[in-house]
Structure 1
C-alpha cells in the first residue's frame, strides 16, 4: 500500500490491505521511492494537508494509511506539528521510511489487513493517499476503509486522495492514466505510467474506482459527511511549493485536473 497514482504507484505504494502490494520487495520499494510525483505535489498533497489543518491540531495523532517510504508522512509531521503514525503492508517500504535521515514519523506494519499494534480510536485524523487504486475488489476496498474507521475516534476526519480513472490518456507532467479513449469500470485494471526522477518512466497496474462510487464506499464503511474537491492549478498557486509551480507550464493539469480530495467523518 502506498501514497499517489504516482503513489498507488509511488509513495504510499504498497497496498495496505487485501489484494497485495503494488511495489513488492526491496527492489520494488526502491523503484517506488524514485518516482517524481510532481503532479501529486502540485494538485494533491498540499490540499490534503490543508484539509487536515482545518481539523487537527499540533500534538494530535495523524495516521498515514499506506505511507510507503514515508515522504508524505514526514512532510505532514513537520507541517502540521502532528504525531504521525505511518502504516503500510510492505516491510521494505517501512524500512526505507525508518532509514530516512529526516524521519520524523513512527512506522508500523499492516498484516492481514490490520494495523494490530494500533488500538481502536487512536487517531484524531487519517490520511489515505492513492491506496484504493491498488485494491482490485469492492471487498478489499471495504476492508481498508473499515480498518481506517476502526483507527479513528468518532467524529474524526478521513482525508482521501484519489486519481480520477476517467482522466484516461492525458499526458500529465509526470503521469499518464490508462489508455486514450478507454473506459474503466469499478475495480478494472489499467496501466499508469509514472515519471522517475532520472527522467525514465515506470509502468504499474492500478484499479479503477470511479469518483462517483467513492461516497457510497465510504458510507458503507461507517463514514458520513462525505464531500469531494477537485483541486485546480490556480488554487495550487498559493498552496504548492513556489519552485514546483514555476518548474512547468502544467498545461494538461490546467485543462483536466486528475486528482480528487475526498473528506469524510467517522460516524
Structure 2
C-alpha cells in the first residue's frame, strides 16, 4: 500500500514542517522562470497539487497574479487555509483530476510540483495532464517539477528518493525519506518514472515545445547556510519538464 494522501494528519504535518531548502533554491525558481512569472500577460496561475500552500503563497507574494491552488488532501488544505491564506489565493479541494471550478482556457500558467511521482497509474497521469491542458489558455506554459529519476538513491541534503544502487521499473514503488528540521523523518512511498515519461505525457496531451531542465548548484552559486558541500552541487536533484499549449 502506498502513502495515504487523503485524510492523513501525519503526512500533512510532515510536509508542512519539512524545510524545502533546495526546492526553493533550485527547483521552484526554475519553475517560475519556465512559466514566465512576472510577465504582464501571466495574471492567473494554477498550482495543481498545492499541498500545505507553501509554493502558492510564494507565488502570490512575489508576483502580481491570482493563484488557484488545488489538492486532494483536506488536511493539507486546512493547513494551507490556516497558515497561508492570501487575498490572491483560492484553495480548492478536488476528488479526481477534474478541475470543474475552472472553465476552458482560463489560466495563464500551471504547475505540478511533486505530484506525478505520487501517482502510480499512467491513466491518472494522462487525466491530470489533459485537464491542465484544458484549463490553460493557448500559449500558456505548464511546468512539472519532480525528483530527478537519474539521481534516484543519492542522499541529498534534505531528502533521499529510492535506495542506492537499485534499478526501478517505470511506475514501481520506491521509498522516499524527507529529513525534518527536528531530526525526525517523514517516510513515504512514491513511484519511479523515467524522465521521458513526463515528456511523452505532455506531448500526448497536445503540449508543444516540451523541454527538460535539471538545475544544479554550481561552483559559482552560493550554497544555502549550513550546506557548504551539498550533493546538489554535483548531482541535479530535480527534473523540471515544461511545455506550451
Pairwise same-fold verdict (TM > 0.5): yes
The corresponding residue for 1:191 is: 175
Partner secondary structure for residue 150 of structure 2: coil
Alpha-carbon shift at residue 53 of structure 1 (Å): 3.1
> After superposition, where does 1:146-165 map in structure 2 within 5 Å?
146-165=130-149
For 1:103 and 1:199, locate their aligned partners in 2 and report how far apart those are by CA, in whole Å: 31
Within the alignment, does 1:258 sit opposite 2:237 as a pair? yes
State which of 203, 211, 214 in structure 2 corresponds to 1:230: 214
For 2:23 and 2:165, locate their aligned partners in 1 and report how far apart those are by CA, in whole Å: 23
Within the alignment, does 1:109 sit opposite 2:93 as a pair? yes
The corresponding residue for 1:43 is: 26
Alpha-carbon shift at residue 103 of structure 1 (Å): 3.1
State which of 219, 225, 246 in structure 1 corresponds to 2:225: 246
For 2:146 and 2:103, locate their aligned partners in 1 and report how far apart those are by CA, in whole Å: 26
> After superposition, where does 1:1-267 map in structure 2 within 5 Å?
22=5, 24-53=7-36, 56-57=39-40, 60-100=43-83, 103-104=86-87, 105-234=89-218, 237=221, 245-266=224-245
For 1:205 and 1:235, locate their aligned partners in 2 and report how far apart those are by CA, in whole Å: 33
Partner secondary structure for residue 172 of structure 1: coil
For 2:143 and 2:60, locate their aligned partners in 1 and report how far apart those are by CA, in whole Å: 15
Alpha-carbon shift at residue 54 of structure 1 (Å): 5.5
- Is the 8 Å Cα contact of residues 57 and 80 (structure 1) preserved in structure 2? no
Alpha-carbon shift at residue 56 of structure 1 (Å): 4.3
Q: Mark the CA change 1:68 to 1:56 in structure 2 (over 3 Å): closer, same or farther.
A: farther
Alpha-carbon shift at residue 206 of structure 1 (Å): 0.7
Alpha-carbon shift at residue 82 of structure 1 (Å): 1.0
- Is the 8 Å Cα contact of residues 3 and 190 (structure 2) preserved in structure 1? no
Which ranges in structure 1 are unaligned for 5 or more consecutive residues? 1-18
Bigger proportion of residues as strand: 2
- Is the 8 Å Cα contact of residues 147 and 237 (structure 2) preserved in structure 1? yes
Relative to the length of structure 2, the TM-score reads: 0.91
For 1:254 and 1:229, locate their aligned partners in 2 and report how far apart those are by CA, in whole Å: 15
Alpha-carbon shift at residue 234 of structure 1 (Å): 2.5
For 1:259 and 1:228, locate their aligned partners in 2 and report how far apart those are by CA, in whole Å: 10
- Is the 8 Å Cα contact of residues 87 and 108 (structure 1) preserved in structure 2? yes
RMSD: 2.2
Q: Mark the CA change 1:250 to 1:138 in structure 2 (over 3 Å): closer, same or farther.
A: farther
